């Protein structure tokens, strides 16, 4: 194809089921371990109510492909404007001849690959029989986290907690009706944490939401919301009391929950057990014992976007989806 494919959010959702996205993300981390990825880069600027970030990465899929994602992150959007917090586009290029292969909505890709990365981490870090999930923060990302974890663990019960009742009620209803899970609204966060085998925090919080005393031995904890230096969801003591894995050590130290743990002296960079690619490649273990608390600090790495976008493009070409644009004319 010489044309560039224009792919909508609906195209992405139809072409990339969460289970397939998990496979693609895990394969991408294995490719990273094998040296079959290109160096990633990120930059950003502040906006009056948020920021705009650019992430670029590439990998080999028969031939090299490169994805550049441009995302605006405006936390006030849902409440003030009825718009998503995250909006943007991904430009996918042929890594050999530079052709722009596709331009696609990034909102769905970002949501899917974020959930998929948590699932990849849980595959190695959560106990095999983990069946009760506590979700702290019931915005748009929460449902993707639940559906992804249900692929890799035998989820039976979901406890939804949010500072506002309506998002938690909406999430519980949709999971019960559409996913067949026993989902309910948690009365408070401590009670939900006290029952959970898996905990996911996906909020815009700027202060710790819970620490190690509130989670049971053996719990898998994923911090997903801290994607800027001022954000924080997990208490630093969680990092000193558990086995810590990050998607990217550099990113997590710069703006993940790990940043706050390092600044508090709860651990050192060398105390981080692994990056996610090391687990996917079988180079390091994700869990040492059944009663160990495991902590995954997810900041979102560009290789995830590249892997997901490349698969969407390949399937779009095969299925005849999208609008073809002759950009060079």
Domains and CATH numbers, the chain: 4-110+303-325 (3.30.1780.10), 117-300 (3.40.50.720)
How many Å apart are CA 66 and CA 88, to the nearest integer? 17
pLDDT at 61: 86
Average pLDDT over residues 24-50: 92
* Neighbouring-strand partners of residue 47: 50
3-class secondary structure per residue, 72-133: EECCCHHHHCCCCCEEEEEEEEECCCCCEEEEEEHHHHHHHHHHHHHHHHHHHHCCCCCCEE
Helix (H) or strand (E) holding 137: none
Provide, rounded to the nearest whole percent, the portion of the chain with pLDDT above 70.
99
pLDDT at 228: 86
Average pLDDT over residues 257-261: 98
- 3-state SS assignment for residue 44: strand
Residue 80 has pLDDT above 90, yes or no: no
All residues at 6 or more sequence positions from 224 whose CB lies less than 8 Å from its CB, including other chains: 114, 118, 141, 145, 200, 201, 202, 233, 298
CA 111 to chain centre: 7
Per-residue CA distances from 28 to 61, 95, 157, 173, 327 (Å): 10, 16, 30, 34, 29
Cβ-based neighbour number of residue 112 at 10 Å: 26
Average pLDDT over residues 302-322: 97
- Among 133, 137, 123, 117, smallest CA distance to 21 is for 117
How many Å apart are CA 287 and CA 284, to the nearest integer? 9
Residue matched to tokens 């002759």: 326
Does 231 participate in catalysis according to the annotation? no
How many Å apart are CA 171 and CA 148, to the nearest integer? 15
Which residue in 55, 69, 206, 284 is the catalytic one? 69
Among the ranges given (85-89, 99-103, 108-112, 190-194), the one the predictor scored with the smallest mean pLDDT: 85-89
pLDDT at 82: 87
Residue 73 has pLDDT above 90, yes or no: no
Confidence grade of residue 1 (pLDDT, cut at 50, 70, 90):
low
Identify which has the larger pLDDT, 23 or 75. Answer: 23
pLDDT at 44: 87
Pairing of strands 63-73, 86-94: antiparallel
């Amino acid at each position: 194809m010489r044309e560039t494919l224009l792919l909508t959010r609906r195209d992405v959702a139809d072409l990339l089921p969460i289970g397939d996205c998990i496979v693609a993300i895990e394969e991408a981390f294995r490719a990273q371990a094998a040296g079959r990825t290109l160096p990633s880069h990120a930059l950003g600027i502040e906006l009056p109510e948020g920021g705009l970030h650019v992430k670029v990465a590439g990998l080999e899929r028969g031939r090299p492909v490169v994805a550049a994602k441009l995302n605006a992150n405006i936390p006030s959007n849902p409440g003030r404007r009825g718009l998503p917090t995250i909006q943007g586009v991904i430009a996918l290029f042929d890594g050999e001849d530079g052709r722009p292969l596709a331009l696609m909505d990034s909102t769905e890709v970002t949501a899917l690959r974020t959930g998929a990365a948590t699932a990849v981490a849980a595959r190695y870090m959560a106990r095999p029989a983990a069946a009760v999930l506590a979700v702290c923060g019931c915005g748009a990302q929460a449902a993707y986290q639940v559906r992804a974890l249900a692929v890799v663990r035998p989820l039976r019960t979901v406890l939804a907690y949010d500072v506002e009742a309506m998002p938690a009620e909406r999430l519980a209803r949709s999971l019960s009706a559409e996913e067949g899970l026993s989902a309910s609204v948690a009365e408070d966060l401590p009670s939900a944490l006290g029952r959970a085998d898996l905990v996911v925090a996906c909020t815009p919080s700027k202060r710790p939401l819970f620490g190690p005393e509130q989670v049971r031995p053996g719990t898998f904890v994923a911090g997903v919301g801290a994607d800027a230096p001022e954000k924080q969801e997990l208490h630093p003591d969680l990092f000193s009391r558990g086995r810590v894995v990050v998607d990217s050590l550099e990113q997590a130290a710069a703006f993940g929950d790990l940043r706050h743990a390092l600044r508090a002296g709860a651990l050192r960079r060398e105390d981080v057990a692994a990056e996610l690619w090391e687990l996917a490649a079988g180079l390091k273990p994700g869990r040492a014992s059944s009663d160990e608390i495991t902590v995954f600090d997810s900041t979102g790495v560009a290789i995830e976007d590249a892997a997901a976008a490349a698969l969407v493009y390949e399937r779009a070409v095969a299925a005849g989806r999208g609008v073809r644009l002759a950009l060079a004319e």
